[in-house]
Amino acid sequence: MKQSNRIKAAMRAGRKAYGYNLSFPSPWVIDILGKLDFDFVFIDGEHGPFGLDQLEDLCRTAERHNVTTIARVPDIGSSTILRYLDRGIMGILGPHIATEADARQLVRACYFGPLGERSFGANRGTDYNAGIADKAAYCREANEQMLVCALLEDVAVLDNLDAILSVPGVDLYSIGPNDFAQSLGYPGQPGHPEVVKTMQEITRRIRQAGRTMQADVMHGAWVSDMLLDAGRRILSSQPG
């Protein structure tokens, strides 16, 4: 493996991992922020306009600065996730994990055997299958460095949460407040008291089961918000 997963290293060290969320393909942002000691960059591949070539450029740039790349994928299909992993992504956030079957599919797609069924191809995510003396050891190390997160966004989670949490191989859980609010019947109202109460109950159940929320170990900000905040500071400093 080219590098270790800094988020998993932070989890082992008992500290939070710090990073930023990117919704548009810009290796230049990663290059500039590489001057700071961020642990990860989160790539929103579900909503952002990321092509496969762009993902590779982002991974190359991040690796140069020892920054771990993780991505929210458009769906949890094995071929979709594989395309991200083959570019060099080291962590996957699977959207709309609403059943045990969804969680098992997410794990199946992210890991090599015996945990999963990830295909091994000669791409940069597997070092182009070049110079690997012990492929079995390589696959074990890849599994150890893989971060798998389940994004809970559907009302069905309320009935299926215990079964979802029983699936081995998921490291972290997160709740998508906007889609979850819509699923509960409150579109555009993630702050509705009923939505907030339900999300808090899900979070409590996850932690009570001994599992970890993404927010427990990761802290990040959207690059778009960072840019807007910087712009506002400049504008507010103008003389009256």
The three-state DSSP-derived secondary structure of 98-124 is CCHHHHHHHHHHHCCCCCCCCCCCCCH
Q: What is the mean pLDDT of residues 48-56?
A: 96
Average confidence score pLDDT of the chain: 96
Thinking of the domain 6-236, which architecture would CATH place it in?
Answer: Alpha-Beta Barrel (3.20)
Domain extents in the chain = 6-236
> Looking at residues 210-225, what average pLDDT do you find?
97
What's the pTM? 0.95
Question: What percent of the chain has a predicted confidence (pLDDT) above 70?
Answer: 99
Residues 205-210: what's their mean pLDDT? 98
End-to-end C-alpha distance for the chain, whole angstroms: 55
Quote the crossing angle between the two packed helices 193-208 and 157-165, to the nearest 10°: 20
47 catalytic residue (yes or no): yes
Distance, CA of 172 to CA of 149 (rounded, Å)? 5
pLDDT of amino acid 239? 75
Q: Summarize pLDDT for 182-205 with one digit per residue, the tens.
A: 999 999 999 999 999 999 999 999
Assess whether pLDDT exceeds 80 at residue 2: no
Say whether pLDDT at 32 is over 90: yes
- Tell me which of 47, 65, 96, 219 is the catalytic residue: 47
